[in-house]
Chains A and B, each alone.
Chain A
Amino acid sequence: MLLRVQNLTLARGGLPVIAGLSFAVGPGQALILRGPNGAGKTTLLRCIAGLQPPLAGDISGAAERIAYAGHADGIKAMLSVSENLRFWAQVFGGSDIAEALDAYALHPLADRLAGTLSAGQKRRLGLARLLVTGCPVWVLDEPTVSLDKEAVAMFAEAMRHHLQAGGTALMATHIDLGIEAEVLDISPFRVTAGQRAGASDEAFL
């Protein structure tokens, strides 16, 4: 599964944030996005997941093959852990949640209401959702937020399995997961306020 981005220009709130970004990630590869706050990492990931259109440029790699995990995990507080997972498994056409529960050590919590979980446990549930989707491309926005050391290791292990099985991953993270991955700093592609002003002057002239 090749995910290719060519000459992408993105806007947030109507203002361009990234321009001229190109990269490609192949099967079994992971790409880690780095950049300061506000650089446009979330905007880029949302755009690749199909949640917002780019201003210009091409994204290839079928959007319906992508499992996206953003800042919110789509977990219902009044459903149990296994009910939450089973729902997402069914939406993506699967039904087996045992493997996902195993990968993030959620078995002891399976019958607990998700609303009673801690932030880290919720995040583990959110990441377990990726496994039940069966999608080959993972697009993850800060997946390790609120996770402790053990849970980060679980995530790294799940990621290794995913990549070994020919999966692709694109993620924004600031920590070192200990997996082989290319790192792309998106700061050089940022559109600064000065450039925006220049561009609008040119358009005006």
Chain B
Amino acid sequence: MIALLTRDLRLALRAGGGFGLGLAFFLIVTTLVPFSVGPHTDLLRVIAPGILWLGALLACLLSLDRLLALDYEDGTLDLLLTAPLPLEAAVSIKALAHWLTTGLPLVLAAPVLGVLLNLQPAGYGWLVVSLAFGTPALSVIGTFGAALTVGIKRGGLLLSLLVLPLYVPTLVFGAEVARRGASGLDVSTPLLMLAGITLGVIALMPFASAAVLRMGLR
């Protein structure tokens, strides 16, 4: 399992691996928002948590179509299926690698981008916490979407259509934590919901991903 993780991380960091692509997209989206909204710092302050969350979510979505498609094309998935490693573990590791190369950089970059959107000082901590709790769910749900569309030519759009509705609860509660945190309100309820969704998804989704992958590879 560690071998699969280190291989995926190494591939992501090598040329053409796509590391930093999500981060660059996140940066561009959040930079464009002040241009489109106009120089209204009050308005930006209000919408900042939501924009940052939406930007992070879309950035996560961007790299999902490569998550399993590349392994499908070069035959790695077939060989992993015949290897002694359980497929559930393999898809979990792939989701973890996706989070480490896409989700974690977003979590770390979000406070810097919060400055661009005039986020209230009290909001920075909660923004990081909410993204740290929520982005793992985005990677795990995304892996399920990637497993569903594996083998479909140009399945990227279909993947987005399938995955985006599943992202709604994470987005709602994640952005709520960041918004309440920025306004100085109590965040415990949405934070618990967000953590619950993430833990539930991590516990159950790999089984669904492995099951659809087995069917997809037949």
A residues at B contact (CB < 8 Å) = 46, 49-53, 63-64, 66-68, 70-79, 83, 86-88, 90-93, 129, 133
> What sequence of 0s and 1s flags, for each residue 51-91 of chain B, a beta carbon within 8 Å of any chain A beta carbon?
00000000000000000000101111011111111000000
Chain B contacts for A52, CB-based, 8 A = 217-218
Chain B contacts for A64, CB-based, 8 A = 84
Q: Are A72 and B75 in contact (CB under 8 A)?
A: yes
- Complex CA gap A70/B79 in Å reads 9
Is residue B3 within 8 Å, beta carbon to beta carbon, of the partner chain? yes
Q: Are B11 and A72 in contact (CB under 8 A)?
A: no
Q: Are A73 and B16 in contact (CB under 8 A)?
A: no
Q: Are B218 and A51 in contact (CB under 8 A)?
A: yes
- Complex CA gap A75/B73 in Å reads 10
Q: Are B75 and A73 in contact (CB under 8 A)?
A: yes
Q: Are A92 and B83 in contact (CB under 8 A)?
A: yes
Q: Are B217 and A51 in contact (CB under 8 A)?
A: yes
Chain A contacts for B105, CB-based, 8 A = none
Distance of B120 from chain A, by nearest CB (Å): 43
Q: Are B10 and A83 in contact (CB under 8 A)?
A: yes
Q: Residues of B within 8 Å of A, CB-based: how many?
A: 25
- Complex CA gap A74/B74 in Å reads 5
Q: Are A78 and B15 in contact (CB under 8 A)?
A: yes
Distance of B16 from chain A, by nearest CB (Å): 7
- Complex CA gap A92/B3 in Å reads 10
Chain B contacts for A74, CB-based, 8 A = 71, 74-76, 78-80
> What sequence of 0s and 1s flags, for each residue 9-25 of chain B, a beta carbon within 8 Å of any chain A beta carbon?
01100111100000000
Q: Which of B73, B75, B80, B81 is most buried by chain A, counting CB atoms within 10 A of its CB?
A: B75
Given the known inter-chain contacts A51-B218, A76-B74, A87-B3, please indicate yes or no for A68 contacting B11, CB distance below 8 A. Answer: no
Known: A64-B84, A72-B74, A76-B7. 13 other contacts (CB 8 A): A51-B78, A51-B81, A52-B217, A52-B218, A66-B82, A68-B79, A70-B78, A74-B71, A74-B75, A76-B74, A79-B7, A88-B79, A92-B83
Q: Are B82 and A50 in contact (CB under 8 A)?
A: yes
B residues at A contact (CB < 8 Å) = 2-4, 7, 10-11, 14-17, 71, 73-76, 78-85, 217-218
Q: Are B7 and A78 in contact (CB under 8 A)?
A: no
**What are 17 A-B contacts defined by CB distance under 8 Å?**
A46-B78, A51-B81, A51-B82, A68-B79, A70-B79, A71-B75, A72-B74, A74-B71, A74-B78, A74-B80, A75-B74, A78-B14, A78-B15, A78-B16, A87-B4, A91-B85, A93-B84
Distance of B215 from chain A, by nearest CB (Å): 10
Q: Are B3 and A73 in contact (CB under 8 A)?
A: no
- Complex CA gap A91/B122 in Å reads 46
Distance of B152 from chain A, by nearest CB (Å): 16
Given the known inter-chain contacts A70-B75, A76-B74, A78-B16, please indicate yes or no for A91 contacting B80, CB distance below 8 A. Answer: yes
Q: Are B79 and A79 in contact (CB under 8 A)?
A: no
Cross-chain contact of A90 among B3, B11, B73, B76 (Cβ < 8 A): B3
B16 and chain A: residue at smallest CB distance: A78
- Complex CA gap A87/B93 in Å reads 14
- Complex CA gap A77/B7 in Å reads 12
- Complex CA gap A83/B7 in Å reads 8
Distance of A126 from chain B, by nearest CB (Å): 9
A88 and chain B: residue at smallest CB distance: B79
Distance of B89 from chain A, by nearest CB (Å): 11
Chain A contacts for B83, CB-based, 8 A = 91-92, 133
B217 and chain A: residue at smallest CB distance: A51
Chain B contacts for A78, CB-based, 8 A = 11, 14-17
A50 and chain B: residue at smallest CB distance: B82
